[in-house]
């Protein structure tokens, strides 16, 4: 039986995963805090079932993403992509790379919840097999989805850039 001490230690080592998921799915600071607590609670409840077949980080991503996707569904709140790393609006001429970054974040915000999760894991350098383990979709389906997502992001980024 896993102990609370083991759980806290593992959670402390991997808490950045929870923060990333919270930033990906929640817009306000208060909602991110609520989601962080909910993910921690759900992870603790499920920790007894963690068999160690996958890495703890992979398991935690799965718990975090599943919790985030269903967290506010019951209350019918909108889940919105946000990150503290998005550059703020400037009043002067903008750097082309900054403009592309903003356009990419805006394009990611338009993706479905599952596609956002896949993109986040892809950007974290997870393999298709590891993404498959987290999201619960076959690696081949992940590859197909990633190709479609990349196309959507290219198209949406261009649209966002055209409106600037």
Mean pLDDT by 10 residues, the chain (164 residues): 84 92 84 92 91 86 87 53 48 68 82 89 89 90 94 88 78
Its CATH class, for the domain covering 88-164, is mainly alpha
Q: Are 60 and 14 in contact (CB under 8 A)?
A: yes
Phi/psi zone of residue 25: left (φ > 0), alpha (ψ -120 to 50 degrees), beta? Answer: alpha
pLDDT of residue 72: 56
Residue in this structure with the two tokens 């903008």, named with its chain if needed:
94
Our CA dihedral for 102, 105, 107, 112, rounded to 10 degrees, sits at -170
Q: Are 151 and 120 in contact (CB under 8 A)?
A: no
pLDDT of residue 86: 46
pLDDT of residue 74: 53
Map out the domains of the chain as residue ranges.
1-85, 88-164
What would the two tokens of residue 12 be? Answer: 């402390």
pLDDT of residue 94: 65
CA distance linking residue 25 with residue 71, whole number of Å: 10
Q: What is the pTM assigned to this prediction? A: 0.66
CATH architecture observed for domain 1-85:
Orthogonal Bundle (1.10)
């Amino acid at each position: 039986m896993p102990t609370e001490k083991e759980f806290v230690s593992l959670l402390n080592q991997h808490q950045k995963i929870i923060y990333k998921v919270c930033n990906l799915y929640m817009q306000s600071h208060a909602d991110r805090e609520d989601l962080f607590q909910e993910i921690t609670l759900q992870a603790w409840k499920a920790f007894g079932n963690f068999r160690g077949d996958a890495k703890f980080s992979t398991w935690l991503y799965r718990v975090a993403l599943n919790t985030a996707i269903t967290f506010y569904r019951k209350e019918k709140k909108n889940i919105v992509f946000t990150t503290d790393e998005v550059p703020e609006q400037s009043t002067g001429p903008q750097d082309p790379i900054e403009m592309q970054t903003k356009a990419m974040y805006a394009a990611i915000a338009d993706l479905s919840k599952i596609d956002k999760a896949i993109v986040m894991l892809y950007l974290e350098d997870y393999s298709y097999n590891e993404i498959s383990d987290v999201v619960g979709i076959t690696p081949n389906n992940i590859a197909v989805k990633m190709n479609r997502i990349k196309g959507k992001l290219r198209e949406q980024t261009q649209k966002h850039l055209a409106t600037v």
